[in-house]
Structure 1
Amino acid sequence: MSREDRANPANVKLLRVAYNELLDAQAKAIDAVVTDGKGDDPYEVFAPLPSGQHGREARLALARSIKDVFDIPQNKRAKLESGLICASPVTVAAIERLNIAKESLKSTVSQIKGTDDPDNGSLGYRPVELQRTMKEVGFAAADLKRVYAKIRILEPGVHRVSWTWLVNHGTYKPIPRDVLERRLAGLEKEDPAAAALARSRLDAVEKPRPVTFFTLPDQLRVNYSTGAKGSRTNKSAAVSGVLVVPQKSLPIIKWVDRDLHQTRKRTRRPEPVARRELLPGWGVFYDASSPR
C-alpha cells in the first residue's frame, strides 16, 4: 500500500481506541449474560429457536447475537431477530457500558468523516478516508448501522412482551422543487405532452407539496406492559436485536415468526383522498386539496 493510499495516522489511532473499547465492552457484556445463567437459580432468557427457547443454547444464541454485529451475515434468515434476557444489575451495567461504547464509536466515525474532502467520494458511499481507516483498524466490511444499534433495556416490572412485524409499509418523502424541476426538464425531452400535463396539474393547486413513496423494509416491533395489575402501562417501540429486562423471571411471552406475518393478507393504508399521482407510474404524488 503506497503512502498516498494510507489513512491519516491520527484517524487510525482514534478509531482503533474506540473500536477496542467497544470490543472490550462487548466481551464483558457477553460474559455477564453467560454468568447470569449459572447456578441453581439462574436469570431466565427467551430466544425464538426451534431447538429450544429457554435453555443454555438459547442463552448462548442471545450472547452470540451481541457479538455478531461485526460479522457479515451469510443468511439473513439464520440471524437471531430478537429475544429477551433477564439481567442482573451487573449485566445491566455491562450492557449500558456497551451502549456507551457504541455511541463513542459512532461519534469517532463522524469525526473522521469530517476530516475528508467533501468531494472525495460518492453519494451513498463511505468517504475514502473512512474506508482506509476502517481497513487499517480491521473492520472494513462491517455494517455500521448494525454496529451502532443499541441494545434496548426495558424498565423493571415488565408483565408481558410480544413481538410483531410491520410489513408491506412505506413512507412519503417531500421532493425539493429544484429536484422536481430537473425531472420535469428531462421528461420534456422524452415526452413533452406528459411534462405539460404534469406542470398543469401542479399549477392548478395552491400548495402541491410533491412527494415520492418509499417502500420500507419489514420492521420488528416490541409491545410490552409494565406495572401492577389494574394500573399497567402499554408501550411499543421498534427493536433491533435482543432486549434486556432488569428482573429475574421472564414476563408472559408471545412471539410470531416473520413468515406468518408475511403470509397474512395485508391491505395498504388507503391514499389520502386529496393525494394524487402526478403521472401514471412516475412515482410522484401531489396534494390536490387546494385548487386555485
Structure 2
Amino acid sequence: MSNDTALPHSYVMALYESYGEMSAACESVKTAVRADAALYPVYVPTFGEDESEKTSNAAREAAIKSITQLFILDDGETVPEAGILCASPETVKTVEKLNDTKDKFKKAVMAIRNYQKKNKQAQSNISKLIRDEVTQRGYRTDELKLAMETARISSLELKRCYAQIRVMPAELDVFSWTWATNHSRIKKVSVQGAQELIDALPEAKSEAAETARSLLEQCRPDEMLARKIKLPHQLRANYAYLSEGKVVRKLCPISGIVIAQQKNMPRKLWRDKPGNNPERLPRASGIEQKEFIKVLGLHRYAKTPI
C-alpha cells in the first residue's frame, strides 16, 4: 500500500474503541440475561429434543451466545437461529445499548471503506459483482483488513457485529415463525461485466469459457443480461401485541433471538425450515427461462415484440 493511501491511525483507533464498547456491552447483556433467569422465561425452538430443553437454562445460555457472538464460528459450532427471550426493563436497556454500540462500530467500518473509495481507483466491475454476492462473513476492503489486523480483531464476523437485536413491542401476545421460500434477486450484468466474469473463470473451465465468449458475441454492446442469485429461505415472524387496548398484528423478517419486554411468554408457534424446492424464474420478470450462458448463470431479457 502506497504512503498516499495508507490508512491514518485515527481510523484504526476509532475501530478499536468502538469494538471495545461493543464487547463490553455484550458482557453486560450476558450478566443481565442470566440475572433474569428466575422470573423471565426463554424459548429456543431448535434447542434440544423436547419442550423442557427448549426452555432450560442451557437454552438460555444458547440464546445468550446467539445475541453476543461477534466472532466467526469454528467449524461445527452453531448458534440458534430463532428464539424468544423475555427480559426485564434493565435487560432491555442493556440490549438497546448493545445495538447502539453495533451502530457505532459499523460507522467506524464504513469510514474505512469510504476512505478507500476516496483514495483509490474505483473497483472493477467483477470485484463489485463478487462483493455483492458475499453472504457469509461480509466484504472486507484491503484497508479494513489491515485495520482489523492492526486492532487484533480480524476474526470478527462483520455481519454479526452489524446485526441489530430485535426488541419486540410491549405486551406481546402472539408470535409465530414462518419461512419465505423460493425467492431470489436479479442482478443486471452488462456485456462488459459478463466478459470480465468469463475472463475470471478457472483454467479447468476453459472450454466453457470459449463457449460463453461465442455466445456473448451475439449480444449488442449495450445489452444487459440477468443473473439470478438464489437466496436462502428467509425466516419471518407474524406477531400481535396490545396497544391502547387494541390488538395490532404485524409481519416482519426475523433473525436470531428476539427480546420480549415482559415476564410472560407470548403464545408461540415454531415451524421447521422447509426443504429446498426447485426454483423457476418468474414469468413477470421479462427474463427468458432458459439460461443463455450456463457457466455464469446468465439469462437474456425477453425481447419485446415490435
Q: TM-score range by the shorter chain?
A: 0.7 to 0.9
Q: 1:119 offset after TM fit, Å?
A: 4.9
Aligned counterparts of 1:162 and 1:32: Cα–Cα separation in 2: 26
1:227-271 C-alpha deviation (Å, 9 max, x unpaired): 38x95333222222210111211111222333xx117xx463563
Indicate the residue corresponding to 1:225 in structure 2: 240
* Residue pair 1:165, 1:219 contacting (<8 A) in 2 also: yes
Aligned counterparts of 1:107 and 1:63: Cα–Cα separation in 2: 25
Matches within 5 A, 1:1-292: 8-38=8-38, 42-48=39-45, 49-50=47-48, 52-75=53-76, 78-116=78-116, 117-119=119-121, 123=127, 124=131, 126-176=140-190, 178-179=192-193, 190=211, 194-195=215-216, 198-199=218-219, 210-227=225-242, 232-258=247-273, 261-262=274-275, 266=277, 268=279, 271-272=282-283, 274-276=286-288, 277=290, 279=292, 281=294, 283-288=297-302, 290-292=304-306
In structure 1, what residue type is equivalent to 2:19?
A: Y
SS in structure 1 opposite 2:82? coil
In structure 2, what residue type is equivalent to 1:220?
A: L
SS in structure 1 opposite 2:268? strand
Aligned counterparts of 2:293 and 2:178: Cα–Cα separation in 1: 34
In structure 2, what residue type is equivalent to 1:87?
A: A
Q: 1:214 offset after TM fit, Å?
A: 0.7
Q: 1:160 offset after TM fit, Å?
A: 1.6
Inter-CA distance 213–87: structure 2 relative to 1 (3 Å threshold): same
In structure 2, what residue type is equivalent to 1:244?
A: I
TM-score (norm. length: structure 2): 0.75
Q: 1:138 offset after TM fit, Å?
A: 2.1
* Residue pair 1:154, 1:246 contacting (<8 A) in 2 also: yes
Aligned counterparts of 1:185 and 1:13: Cα–Cα separation in 2: 39
Q: Percent identity?
A: 26
In our comparison, the structure showing a higher alpha carbon Rg is: 1
Comparing 118-127 and 97-106, the one that deviates more: 118-127
Quote the RMSD (CA, aligned, Å). Answer: 3.6
* Residue pair 2:85, 2:257 contacting (<8 A) in 1 also: yes
Q: 1:192 offset after TM fit, Å?
A: 8.0
* Residue pair 1:8, 1:129 contacting (<8 A) in 2 also: no
Aligned counterparts of 1:222 and 1:174: Cα–Cα separation in 2: 31
Inter-CA distance 98–161: structure 2 relative to 1 (3 Å threshold): same
Aligned counterparts of 2:198 and 2:104: Cα–Cα separation in 1: 44
- Unpaired stretches in structure 1, ≥5 consecutive residues: none
Comparing 111-120 and 170-179, the one that deviates more: 111-120
Comparing 115-124 and 59-68, the one that deviates more: 115-124
1:140-192 C-alpha deviation (Å, 9 max, x unpaired): 02110111111011111222212233344322122246435778999997578
Inter-CA distance 139–10: structure 2 relative to 1 (3 Å threshold): same
Aligned counterparts of 1:192 and 1:242: Cα–Cα separation in 2: 47
Aligned counterparts of 1:126 and 1:270: Cα–Cα separation in 2: 31
SS in structure 2 opposite 1:65? helix
Aligned counterparts of 2:107 and 2:58: Cα–Cα separation in 1: 35
Q: 1:209 offset after TM fit, Å?
A: 6.0
Inter-CA distance 107–160: structure 2 relative to 1 (3 Å threshold): same
Q: How many residues align?
A: 273
Q: 1:21 offset after TM fit, Å?
A: 0.7
In structure 2, what residue type is equivalent to 1:136?
A: T
1:73-95 C-alpha deviation (Å, 9 max, x unpaired): 4226x321121111111111111
- Unpaired stretches in structure 2, ≥5 consecutive residues: 132-138, 201-207
Q: 1:50 offset after TM fit, Å?
A: 0.9
Aligned counterparts of 1:191 and 1:66: Cα–Cα separation in 2: 45
Aligned counterparts of 1:140 and 1:70: Cα–Cα separation in 2: 9
Aligned counterparts of 1:111 and 1:208: Cα–Cα separation in 2: 35
In structure 2, what residue type is equivalent to 1:250?
A: M
